[in-house]
Chain A
């Protein structure tokens, strides 16, 4: 029954997989000034082409620059050199084409859930025409009935769903997610992963997903971009050719997983990780 209703809602929400949402990261370098006045290279010579509608993960240990790269794509920071383009248009500052979801839901605590989801439309002055879309997206993320609740009344998972709806209602061409499930417990996390996949499949939006969880990256992505720190750069891009829907205990997972671990120097090839 719930499945049926879900599918009806999904059908109601218009698809925009119109071939837009291609990201091109060209030779991007990002330097930060450290307290002593020297430079820290957060990102060095990063090149990445992301296809429209692709689900791509940026994976790596902390300090590898994955969040920095995401913030550059979002337009919240500017690259020291190189450029980023969305559908051949150079990124200069934030735009609702590139929706954001942080690890912290950062809902506005003074607004109800409905008004939080509607913020993007309100800010763009098109809320009046699109009132019913707000409700559709609240349904889509499974928050129907919580419209008039305040953020402090929601659990972490629910707040993150609201943050997701808030980004989606703007019809972004790219959805940028910075460890969006990092603060959730393991079970809520797996539920939310499936939820994100369901929405991604339906909406056709390009997703750039930052995480430090290898299993999560493999389970979700078309491609996993593994990054290494000091200086932050792309070490290798893994194509995850596994058919969807994927099973979490699929044998191919372990293959890719050990490849990534080896790349990050946490394990040696063909040696089991467990000790008896």
Chain B
């Protein structure tokens, strides 16, 4: 009995592998697994063998990293061919990794090697890598400052928007009075308030929090309200016939039923929060990644600007991924229904 099961499992694994590989690449697995190694090796050759035509006097971090990657991808490539089941994740991502290495080759070639793009605006990947490593401390602190502002602003915005939306969806009278405010103030981009906010608030920090709260409040309110207003009325009828109080109807029926819509609002709010945060930091706040970018730009150190952009990308995409994880956890009952 166990024999057939294990045979079955191997068969399934085999089929899965083939599906994975055939999904993303047009060549066989052996070569596909080695693609990252081949492209990183090419990058190393291109970067070290060709003559520089742009000045570059930093430590060769970039070269060191490529060298390490060459070794790692060689091991991974061989390992993936020997134990495909264990390396399935790598196999799936191998073409992407190779493509990224290819992109770095082109970037390095047109900047450092050919000097086709003007400095200081378009530094080479080696210069950006050096900036990332030299400035890691300032970048790290800036990222933390941004994160603090984002979490406070977003958190308060959601804490304010959620009840506003619930009350609007539940009480027609509340809706009557609040709707005009929502309609008129909501669509104004929060960044348009910067001149006023900077005067009205004691510090640029509190002013930025106000802007973030305002920015997040609108989408979350609208989506919560529409979510609650669209709840199947039969749910309330059933709940009332089971002895539910009004409080129970709101918190245990309306709110969970509106959750899918609320999550749309949470994602939209996060998007505008990013924009507002960075613009706020560029224009007023004396810390954070937005400030770092303006500061580096002031010194014409564009390699630092790119370094900050990379940190921002990692930070923001991490936050969005986290939000997706929370969504999947909370909306587990919608499995198969949500397609985004």
Number of interface residues of A (CB under 8 A): 29
Residues of A within 8 A of B240 (CB): 76, 93-94
Inter-chain CA distance A110–B237, complex, in Å, is 17
A106 lies within 8 A of B252 (CB): no
What is the chain A residue whose CB lies nearest that of B240? A94
A106 lies within 8 A of B238 (CB): yes
Residues of B within 8 A of A96 (CB): 241-243
Inter-chain CA distance A43–B284, complex, in Å, is 69
Residues of B within 8 A of A106 (CB): 232, 234-235, 238
Binds B, one of A31-39, A117-125, A231-239: A117-125
B241 lies within 8 A of A119 (CB): no
Q: B interface vs A, CB < 8 Å? A: 232, 234-235, 237-245, 248, 252-253, 256-257, 259, 332-337
Q: Is A136 an interface residue (CB 8 A)?
A: no
A74 lies within 8 A of B245 (CB): no
Inter-chain CA distance A167–B241, complex, in Å, is 9
Q: Is A104 an interface residue (CB 8 A)?
A: yes
What is the chain B residue whose CB lies nearest that of A119? B242
A152 lies within 8 A of B243 (CB): no
A152 lies within 8 A of B234 (CB): no
> When A and B form their complex, which 10 residue pairs have the shortest distance between CB atoms, in order from nearest?
A120-B242, A96-B243, A123-B244, A94-B240, A100-B241, A110-B256, A94-B241, A124-B243, A110-B333, A106-B234
A100 lies within 8 A of B334 (CB): no
A102 lies within 8 A of B238 (CB): yes
A110 lies within 8 A of B243 (CB): no
B333 lies within 8 A of A109 (CB): yes
Q: Is A146 an interface residue (CB 8 A)?
A: no
A123 lies within 8 A of B238 (CB): no
B243 lies within 8 A of A108 (CB): no
Inter-chain CA distance A108–B259, complex, in Å, is 13
Q: What is the CB-to-nearest-CB distance from B127 to chain A, in angstroms, rounded to a whole number?
A: 52
What is the chain B residue whose CB lies nearest that of A101? B238
Q: Could you list some 21 contacts between A and B, CB below 8 A?
A: A76-B237, A94-B237, A95-B241, A96-B241, A96-B242, A96-B243, A100-B238, A106-B234, A108-B253, A108-B257, A109-B334, A110-B256, A110-B259, A111-B333, A119-B244, A120-B242, A123-B244, A124-B242, A124-B243, A166-B242, A170-B242
Q: Is A253 an interface residue (CB 8 A)?
A: no
What is the chain A residue whose CB lies nearest that of B248? A123
Q: Is A98 an interface residue (CB 8 A)?
A: yes
**Does more than half of chain A's interface fall in helix, strand or loop, or is it mixed?**
loop
The residue that A152 contacts in the complex, of B242, B257, B337, with Cβ under 8 A, is B337
Q: Is A180 an interface residue (CB 8 A)?
A: no
A152 lies within 8 A of B241 (CB): no
Point out which of A99, A110, A166 has the most chain B C-beta atoms below 10 A from its C-beta.
A110
Contacts A100-B237, A124-B242, A167-B242 supplied; 16 other A-B pairs, CB < 8 Å: A75-B241, A76-B240, A94-B237, A94-B240, A96-B241, A100-B241, A102-B238, A106-B232, A108-B256, A109-B333, A119-B244, A123-B242, A123-B244, A150-B333, A151-B333, A170-B243
B336 lies within 8 A of A76 (CB): no
Residues of B within 8 A of A119 (CB): 239, 242, 244
Q: What is the CB-to-nearest-CB distance from B339 to chain A, in angstroms, rounded to a whole number?
A: 15
Inter-chain CA distance A119–B244, complex, in Å, is 9
Inter-chain CA distance A94–B236, complex, in Å, is 11
A37-73 near B? 1/0 per residue, CB < 8 Å: 0000000000000000000000000000000000000
Residues of B within 8 A of A151 (CB): 333
Residues of A within 8 A of B256 (CB): 108, 110-111
B242 lies within 8 A of A99 (CB): yes
